[in-house]
């Protein structure tokens, strides 16, 4: 079972719950949701995810701040991060994630099939040295 840590803004708690339910119903993923950006690193340390999904715009720390904290922590230096944002339009993204500056982004609202395909890709991709 692969572990996914999902951090969304407090206003998106219902969306987090839906994404968690969707991924867990597949039977291949265990998902831990943390809707407080300042607690994301502690939650990740306790849960030890294989993949982290981050909202870009969150109260407190934004997704970039959380991603930087993860990257600076030896335990998560190679853990893939997938950003979910309304800053990338669904027209721009189409049916795939968008890569900008070496980071992967999915547009909101999240298409469950695109999410699943991207999660599978990230979890199967070799870790860069």
Residues 4-52 have pLDDT tens digits of: 988 876 557 777 888 899 999 999 999 999 888 889 999 999 999 999 9
Distance between CA atoms of residues 80 and 89, nearest Å: 22
Domains of the chain: 2-123 (3.40.50.2300)
Q: What is the mean pLDDT of the chain?
A: 82
pLDDT of residue 69: 92
| Residue whose entry in the numeric block shows the structure tokens 């300042």 | 38
DSSP 54-122: EESS-SSS-HHHHHHHHHTSGGGTT--EEEEESSS-HHHHTTS-EEETTEEEEESSPPHHHHHHHHHHH
Predicted TM-score (pTM) above 0.85: no
């Amino acid at each position: 079972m692969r572990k996914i840590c999902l951090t969304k803004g407090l206003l998106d708690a219902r969306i987090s719950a839906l994404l968690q339910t969707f991924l867990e119903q597949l039977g291949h993923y265990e998902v831990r949701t943390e809707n407080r950006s300042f607690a994301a690193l502690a939650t990740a340390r306790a849960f030890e995810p294989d993949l982290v999904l981050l909202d870009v715009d969150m109260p407190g720390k934004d997704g970039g701040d959380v991603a930087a904290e993860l990257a600076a922590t030896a335990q998560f230096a190679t853990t893939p991060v997938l950003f979910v944002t309304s800053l990338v339009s669904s027209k721009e993204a189409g049916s795939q994630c968008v890569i900008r500056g070496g980071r992967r982004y999915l547009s909101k609202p999240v298409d469950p099939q695109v999410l699943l395909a991207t999660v599978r890709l990230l979890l199967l991709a070799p870790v860069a040295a």
